[in-house]
Amino acid sequence: MTADSSPTRVVIAAVDALPMPEGRLSKQVLNTHGLEVRWYRPPALDPQTPHDRDEVYVVVSGA
């Protein structure tokens, strides 16, 4: 972090309560300094296919 930046707090319950944008399987949580963070809750089967963006997944809950 630089001296002029501060941490961003994301409250999981608040993000989960936001409506999912129509036609999307994820909602944007944060977009800053070239980093985009999205909330993704896949249906029973994950329909994603390989794509060109690097990703990091954080499991909030589940098996």
% residues pLDDT > 90 (the chain): 8
Q: Look-up: residue for tokens 């409250």?
A: 11
How many C-beta atoms surround the C-beta of residue 19 within 10 A? 6
Per-residue model confidence (pLDDT) at position 4: 61
pLDDT single digits (tens) 9-25:
888 889 889 998 998 88
Non-local (6+) Cβ contacts of 7 within 8 A are: 1
CA-based nearest residue to 18, from 1, 34, 41: 41
pLDDT single digits (tens) 30-39:
888 888 888 8
Global pTM reads 0.65
Number of domains into which the chain is organized: 1
Q: Which domain holds residue 27?
A: 1-63
Percent helix, strand, coil in the chain, to 5, is 10, 20, 70
Amino acid making up residue 40: Y
